[in-house]
Amino acid sequence: MKPRILIDLRHYSKALFSADLMAGLVVGIVALPLAIAFAIAASPGGDAEHTIGPGIGIITAIVAGLIISLFGGSRVQIGGPTGAFIIIIYGVVAKFGLSGLLVATILAGVMLVLMGVFRLGSVIKFIPYPIVVGFTSGIALTIFTTQVKDLLGLTLEGGAPAAFIDKWMCYFRNITTLQWDAVAVSAVSIAIIVACTRWMKRLPGSLIAIIVTTATVYFTNQSGLTHVATIGDRFGNITASLPHINAFHLDWKSLFTDAQGHFTFNTLSALFPSAFVIAILGAIESLLSATVADGVTGDHHDSNQELIGQGIANIVAPFFGGIPATGAIARTMANINNGARTCIAGVVHALVLLVIFIVAMPLAAYIPMPTLAGVLVVVSYNMSQWRTFAQLTHRPKSDVVVLLVTFVLTVVFDLTIAIELGLVLACLLFMRRMAEVTQLSIFTKEIDPNADPVADIPLHEEALVIPDGVEVYEINGPFFFGVANRFEEMTAEMQDHPAIRIIRMRRVPFIDSTGVHNLENLCLMSQRDGTQIILSGVQPKVRAVLERAGFPALIGEDNICSHITIALERAAALRAKA
Least confident of 29-33, 253-257, 269-273: 253-257
- Sign of the dihedral through C-alpha 253, 257, 259, 261: negative
DSSP 8-state secondary structure symbol assigned to residue 467: P
Given this model, what pLDDT does residue 535 score? Answer: 93
Given this model, what pLDDT does residue 315 score? Answer: 95
Provide the β-strand partners of residue 500.
470, 532
Q: With contact defined as beta carbons under 8 Å apart, do 57 and 39 qualify?
A: yes
How far the first Cα of the chain sits from its last, in Å, is: 61
Provide the β-strand partners of residue 80.
326
Average pLDDT over residues 407-435: 80
Given this model, what pLDDT does residue 241 score? Answer: 65
Residue in 147, 158, 145, 212 with CA at minimum distance from that of residue 185: 212
Q: In what order do the strands lie in the sheet with 470-476?
A: 439-443, 470-476, 500-507, 532-536, 560-561
Given this model, what pLDDT does residue 389 score? Answer: 92
* Residue 536 to residue 186: CA distance in whole angstroms: 71
Given this model, what pLDDT does residue 201 score? Answer: 72
Which comes out higher in pLDDT, residue 463 or 183?
Answer: 183
Given this model, what pLDDT does residue 259 score? Answer: 66
Average pLDDT over residues 382-396: 88
For 135-174, write each residue's pLDDT tens digit: 889 888 988 998 899 999 988 877 778 788 888 999 999 9
* Residue 345 to residue 25: CA distance in whole angstroms: 8
Check pLDDT > 90 for residue 330.
no
State the pLDDT confidence band at 469, using cuts at 50, 70 and 90.
confident
Given this model, what pLDDT does residue 245 score? Answer: 46
Given this model, what pLDDT does residue 323 score? Answer: 94
* Residue 374 to residue 37: CA distance in whole angstroms: 10
Given this model, what pLDDT does residue 258 score? Answer: 65
Given this model, what pLDDT does residue 452 score? Answer: 62
How high is the mean pLDDT of the chain? 85
Given this model, what pLDDT does residue 384 score? Answer: 87
Least confident of 75-84, 117-126, 231-240: 231-240
Provide the β-strand partners of residue 442.
473
Check pLDDT > 90 for residue 370.
yes
Check pLDDT > 90 for residue 226.
no
Given this model, what pLDDT does residue 460 score? Answer: 53
Least confident of 162-171, 362-371, 425-434: 425-434
Q: With contact defined as beta carbons under 8 Å apart, do 431 and 108 qualify?
A: no
Given this model, what pLDDT does residue 512 score? Answer: 87
For 6-54, write each residue's pLDDT tens digit: 998 888 999 999 999 999 998 998 888 889 889 988 888 777 778 888 8
In order, the DSSP letters of 66-79 are HHHHHH-S-SS--E
Given this model, what pLDDT does residue 261 score? Answer: 65
DSSP 8-state secondary structure symbol assigned to residue 538: -
Provide the β-strand partners of residue 474.
441, 504
Average pLDDT over residues 529-541: 91
Single-letter residue type at 520:
E
Given this model, what pLDDT does residue 495 score? Answer: 64
For 503-513, write each residue's pLDDT tens digit: 999 888 988 88
Check pLDDT > 90 for residue 346.
yes
* Residue 44 to residue 162: CA distance in whole angstroms: 9
Query: Cα angle vertex 446, ends 442, 451, to 5°?
Result: 80
State the pLDDT confidence band at 106, using cuts at 50, 70 and 90.
very high
For 193-214, write each residue's pLDDT tens digit: 999 888 877 777 888 998 999 9
Single-letter residue type at 316:
V
Write out the H or E segment, with its range, that includes residue 475: strand 470-476
Among 290-299, 304-313, 485-494, 510-519, the range of highest mean pLDDT: 304-313
* Residue 475 to residue 567: CA distance in whole angstroms: 15
Classify residue 179 as left (phi > 0), alpha (psi -120 to 50) or beta: beta
Given this model, what pLDDT does residue 532 score? Answer: 92
Residue in 373, 44, 45 with CA at minimum distance from that of residue 179: 373
* Residue 296 to residue 293: CA distance in whole angstroms: 5
Least confident of 264-268, 323-327, 443-447: 264-268
* Residue 404 to residue 133: CA distance in whole angstroms: 10
